[in-house]
Each structure stands twice: as structure tokens, then as C-alpha cells.
Amino acid sequence: MSYIEKRKVLVDTDVGLDDVHALIYLSSRSDIELLAVTLVPGVAGMDVITDNIQRVLRFLRNKTLPVFKAGEHNLFCEIIESDGHYGKNGLGDIELPKKKMNIRNDMMSSTAMIHYARMYPQQVHILCLGPLTNLALAFLIDNEFPKFVGSITIMGSDRAETSVLGVTYFAEFNTWCDPVAYQVVMNCFTKIRQPIRVVDWSFCIKNLFPLSLFDRIREAAGKIGCENVKTQLFHMLTDSTNAIIQKSYLIGGFLSPDLLAALALCNPELFNIERMKLHHVEPSGTKVGHTIYQPVRHCFVDLVKHTNIDALVDLLVKTIPYSTDPPKKFRKVD
């Protein structure tokens, strides 16, 4: 039997609804090793999202995944505040079963990124689903950090002049929360030619998941004869009867930006890109968080341009329902 080496993934997240969609998909992939979760405030504050991740991992029966916390401030030293779009807890106000887990206190989120990147040089793939505060701080702490990272996939920013259904008329939420961090990452990481893939808001709005996805996942689970915990959680967090989740049901399909980002990390062959440079991000004022990209040949990021949404749906249907659940009981790991 041939051995397939798993890709090591670190997820930087503010643990909102679509963040959990991404975690469900990553947890369903047999070729992905989740190294750690680093928390960043965004859709809710640190206390709330710390509670969220414990509940999510408890539901997914993953009690061993290291989780690291961050502070409450962006690089402007302002507290990152939620816009309330995903409810008070960022999870559509759905109360998953509560379970206290051991949150790591020996490192902060940013230093944990450095730790794992240096432990596994060029092997750690970082998926950033919230504001880029932790990633920027990791560089400011350790200027050599970027060269140790395997790749970075970011859900954030918006190439468009105006942001349809964005947090403001001009900005996507993650960049709006910490525009300085976004500028630091785009300037410093691209100079080292670090592989950076950006899934921006305009791309996500144009690539909604067809509602048939949910029926097909149910049908697949029915053929198996049972629903695994990932399928159960996925259905709970895409429930169209939930007034908060209904906001993600748009004309043409279901919006899940972070799930698209996770798919782009795992399946880059299904995404076409264009090489762009971040020309400017508005640091303050009425257009705070507004980003302008320009095509360049050097110091670029791979801005995702096109995908085959039907192929992505097929992939999700073949992955999530067929993933094997971990056992209910765990031995204590020393």
C-alpha cells in the first residue's frame, strides 16, 4: 500500500458560520492534517469565538487539535468589533453542545504560526478566514517567518470598485476589520515571493453554491445509511429556516466564502487565477478597507478569477458524507 503524505494545514479563523463550513470540509479530507487552529477576533470577540471553537470541535469529535488565542485589537490598536451579520455568537445564534477543552496558553496565535512554520519548513499551508492580524503580527515578530511557510490562502478583500453586500459599500469585512494588517501581509510576503492565493469577495458573490448541494449531500448520506457528524453539522449551519443563515441564501444560490477558500487550498487545479499586486488599501475614513489591485509581473498574489462550481459541488458531495467519524471516546493524550 502506497503512503500518501498529508498536507499540513493551519487554520486562522474567527469561527463564524462559513468558517465552520471550511473546517467541516478540511476535517473530511483524508489527505489533510489539521495542525492547529489560531483564533482571531472578527465576527465575534475572543471569548465568544473561543467558546465557538470548543463547541465545534466537540461536535466533530476532535479533542486533540491545538487551539491558540489572540488579543482583541487590530494593528491600529482598535478593538475589532463584529458587525453582527452572523448573530451574537457568529454561528447564527445556534447553540451547539457545550464542552470545555484545553485551550493552549503557552503561545498566542501569531507565535503559534511561527512555531509550526519553523517546525515544518515549507510544509505548513495557512488558511486565513478572518482578519489578517495574526499573520501580520507573525511577520512583525519574525521577519523570516514568510520563507518558512508552504503557502497562504486568504479569504478577504474585494477587487471591485464597490462591494455588493459587503460590510460597507466599499469594503469586505476581513479587510475592513484590519486594513493595516492586510497591507503588511501584501507588502512583506509578496516581496519574498511567498505563494499567496486570495479568494476575494467579488469572486465569492459570483460563485454561489447551488441549493441542490444540500439535497445531494442528504441523498449520499441516505445511500450510506447514516449521517456522520460532519454532515449533521453542515446541515445545521446551512439551515434555511434560521433567520440569520437565511442572509446567505441569495438569488442564485448559497454564499459561503470561507468554504470556497478551503476548496481553493485543497483543490487549486479547479481554480483559475490572475497575478495581481495590491496597489492600495484604504486605512481609514468612509472607504476604510477598500482595496485596489493592479496586474503585475513581480511581487504578485494569485487572485482567484474563475472556478467550475459544479465540479466543486461534486467534490463536496463525494467528500463530506463519506468521511469516517472519529470514535466518541478519546484516550487522554499526555
Q: Which three cell numbers stand for residue 102?
A: 484545553
Which parts of the chain are beta strand (E)? 7-13, 32-39, 67-68, 124-128, 151-155, 196-199, 249-250, 253-254, 271-281, 291-295, 301-307
**Is residue 2 assigned to a domain?**
no
Using CB atoms within 10 Å of the CB of residue 284, give its burial: 0 to 12 exposed, 13 to 18 middle, 19+ buried. Answer: exposed
Q: In Å, what is the CA distance from 227 to each residue of 18, 233, 234, 280, 327?
A: 20, 10, 11, 46, 14
Q: What is the pLDDT at residue 118? A: 98
Q: Determine what percent of the chain falls in helix, strand and coil, rounding each to the nearest 5.
A: 35, 20, 45
Among 142, 106, 134, 154, CA closest to 40? 134
Task: Give me Rg for the CA atoms of the chain.
Answer: 19
Residue 298 in any domain: the answer is yes
Domain count within the chain? 1
Asked whether the beta carbons of 87 and 49 are under 8 A apart, the reply is no
Q: Which pLDDT belongs to residue 6? A: 92
Rounded CA separation 332/327 (Å): 13
Give the C-alpha distances (Å, rounded to integers) separating 30 from 33, 162, 168, 325.
8, 39, 38, 12
Per DSSP, the three-state class of 128 is: strand
In a domain, 333, yes or no: no
- Does residue 199 belong to any structural domain of this protein? yes
Q: Rounded CA gap, 7 and 135, in Å?
A: 20
| Confidence at residue 97, expressed as pLDDT on a 0 to 100 scale | 93
pTM, entire model: 0.95
Q: What is the pLDDT of residues 171-209, one digit of tens each?
A: 999 999 999 999 999 998 887 777 899 999 999 999 999
User: Quick one: which H or E segment has residue 294?
Assistant: strand 291-295
Q: Closest Cα to residue 130, out of 247, 23, 243?
A: 23
Q: What is the pLDDT along the chain (334 residues), one digit of tens a residue?
A: 345 689 999 999 999 999 999 999 999 999 999 999 999 999 999 999 999 999 999 999 998 999 999 999 999 999 998 989 999 999 999 999 987 887 999 999 999 999 999 999 999 999 999 999 999 999 999 999 999 999 999 999 999 999 998 999 999 999 999 999 999 999 988 877 778 999 999 999 999 999 999 999 999 999 988 899 999 999 999 999 999 999 999 999 999 999 999 999 999 999 999 999 999 999 999 999 999 999 987 778 999 999 999 999 999 999 999 999 887 754 343 3
- Could you tell me if residue 232 is inside a domain? yes
Instruction: Note whether residue 174 is domain-resident.
Output: yes
Per-residue confidence (pLDDT) for residue 2, from 0 to 100: 47
Helix axes 229-236, 46-59, angle to 10 degrees: 140
pLDDT at position 333 is 36
| CATH (domain of 209) | 3.90.245.10
d(CA 38, CA 48): 14
Contact (Cβ atoms closer than 8 angstroms) between residue 23 and residue 55:
no
Query: Does any domain span residue 295?
Result: yes
Range of 247's domain?
Answer: 7-322
Asked if residue 207 is part of any domain, the answer here is: yes
